[in-house]
Amino acid sequence: MAAVTGTMTEQILSEKAGESVTSGDVTVVDVDKALLQDGTGPLTVRQLRDIDLEQCAIPDGTVVFLDHQAPPMNDRMANEHALLREFVDEVGAQLSDVGDGICHQVMNYDYTAPGDVLVGADSHTVTGGALGAFATGMGSTDVGIGLALGETWMKVPPVDRFRIEGAFSPGVYAKDLILRIIGDVGADGENYRAMEFVGPTAEAMRIDERMTVANMVVEAGAKAGLFPSDETTKEFLESRERVEDWQPIEPDPDAEYDREYEYDVSDLEPQVAYPHQVDNVVSVTHDRVQDVPIHQAFLGSCTNARYEDLQIAAEIIASHDYEVHPDTRLIVNPASREVYERAMADGLMETFSKAGAAINTAGCGICYGGHQGALADGENAIGANNRNFKGRFGNPKADVYLGSPATVAASAIRGEIADPRAVIEA
């Protein structure tokens, strides 16, 4: 067994390579978990069939998600779903069906374990880093080969340390922190690199908050973004009735980081990313985002549609007499069926419905722009999701802004981009 030293990235990849590896090494690693979704999985199946390799070395850890087209928009997509169901039956993999939820949500809550190598045919697979897994997004063919053979090749990335301290002010959240980091390092600032989040504030974050941060590391180009696996992780896995999946993961005290960043969140303000780049990040008080009318507000996505996110938004909306601005449409897609049911039982869905929201199936929703909720020409939207590239939300002639669930709720109430701190106090 390889020595357990170095960064979390090096520790996990060494363990899975069966040899001690360090940044820059190219190695073949065992794959523990794999995920496919309905936008990328069909190509995986076709590629594997092409070379007569329709098989799965890790069927218990391979999950196929029908989440981007939930439910399918037309016969073409229904047939893609049928292909994926057939594949699941053929190789014995796991199916997460229409309405069950977004791949990264369900994967983290029910499958991913600390220390895993997880490869997914979806760029936001990096969300798995919240549990101390080395989780990375790849293309359909790479993931197909990974799940068929149970291994993949990797270049061990340089690792950067992000030490986070300080307490978030009211109205400021983990989403604002990761937006700020992306704004600072740039959309390719962490390209080919891994990010590791440590320090008192990282330790104090709940798993849902860690997921929000890890989810967006790919918007800085990163290959992975890891949090330590600690007592919080253990309690989370206990609550998921799979504490046996827990193991501690933390950087070795002598770990060598390529670059080291320090963040104190005490003075952080709510952040907004403006079109059409995720690294166009400013404070919500900045001139660039004043007087921006909002036609559609989106509470959803693998970044921010967990119970805790919906709760934050619902409280703000309820405290304003359930009144969303008449010129603003509010769209809600819970991250999973479980989130949906809990939000229903606790009255959050009633709050959203009273406010006139369209509540949709648990799934990816409008985020990527190919399923429901497209914008009209010239419209503006704000979303709790992770991307604002031209064409997201289905229309290259529209503008998408990004913020926290609180900023989205505040903006829905005001009908323009709004500071949640002002709305909470009002």
Comparing CB distances to another protein, the nearer of 201 and 388 is 388
φ, ψ for residue 372, nearest 5 deg: 65, 145
Question: From the CB of 88, what's the least distance to another protein, in Å?
Answer: 18
Q: Are 109 and 336 in contact (CB under 8 A)?
A: yes
Kindly state the smallest distance separating residue 299's Cβ from another protein, in Å.
19
Give the span between the Cα atoms of 404 and 311, in whole angstroms.
Answer: 12
Nearest residue (CB) to another protein, 14 versus 229: 14
**Shortest separation between residue 387's beta carbon and another protein, angstroms:** 6
To another protein, the closest distance from the beta carbon of 401 in angstroms equals: 16
Nearer to another protein, 171 or 300 (CB): 300
d(CA 280, CA 289): 11
Strands (E), 70-188: 94-96, 117-120, 134-137, 151-155, 159-165
Show the beta-strand stretches assigned E in 88-243: 94-96, 117-120, 134-137, 151-155, 159-165, 194-198, 224-226
- Helices (DSSP H) in 51-114: which residue ranges? 75-91, 103-110
| Residue with smaller CB distance to another protein, 221 or 383 | 221
Q: What's the closest the beta carbon of residue 408 comes to another protein, in angstroms?
A: 20
CA dist., res. 194 & res. 323, Å (int): 43
Q: Which residues pair with 135 in a beta bridge?
A: 118
Residue 56 in contact with residue 91, Cβ under 8 Å? yes
- Give the shortest CB-120-to-another protein separation in angstroms: 8
End-to-end CA distance of the chain: 59
Between residues 72 and 405, which has the closer beta carbon with respect to another protein? 72
Backbone angles phi, psi at 34, to 5 degrees: -145, 145
Burial of residue 142 (number of CB atoms within 10 Å: 0-12, 13-18, 19+) = middle
Interatomic CA distance for residues 140 and 120, integer angstroms = 8
Write down the least CB distance from residue 396 to another protein, Å: 5
Helix (H) / strand (E) element for 406: namely helix 405-414
Query: Six-digit token pair at 234?
Result: 């253990």
Task: State the alpha helices, DSSP H only, in 260-394.
Answer: 307-318, 337-345, 348-354
User: Residue 338 CB, nearest distance to another protein (Å)?
Assistant: 25
Helices 307-318, 405-414: inter-axial angle, 10-degree rounding: 30
Residue closer to another protein, measured from CB, 129 or 394:
394
In whole angstroms, how close is the CB of 177 to another protein at the nearest point?
21
CB closer to another protein, 137 vs 171: 137
Query: 42 or 115, CB closer to another protein?
Result: 42
**Six token digits for residue 293:** 């009318």
User: What are 351's two structure tokens?
Assistant: 């709050």
**Between 277 and 283, CB nearer to another protein:** 277
Q: How many CB atoms lie within 10 A of CB 51?
A: 11
Q: Residue written as tokens 């709305």?
A: 423
Output 40 or 304, the one with its CB closest to another protein. 40
5 within 8 A of 146, measured Cβ to Cβ: no
The contact set with another protein (CB under 8 A) reads 26, 28, 39-40, 42-43, 47, 50-53, 68-69, 73-74, 76-77, 79-80, 120-123, 125, 137-142, 145, 149, 151-153, 155, 187-188, 191-192, 218, 221, 223, 277, 368-371, 374, 387, 389-392, 394-396
Shortest spacing between CB 22 and another protein, in angstroms: 16
* Choice between 211 and 222, CB closer to another protein: 222
Residue 70 CB, shortest distance to another protein, in Å, is 12
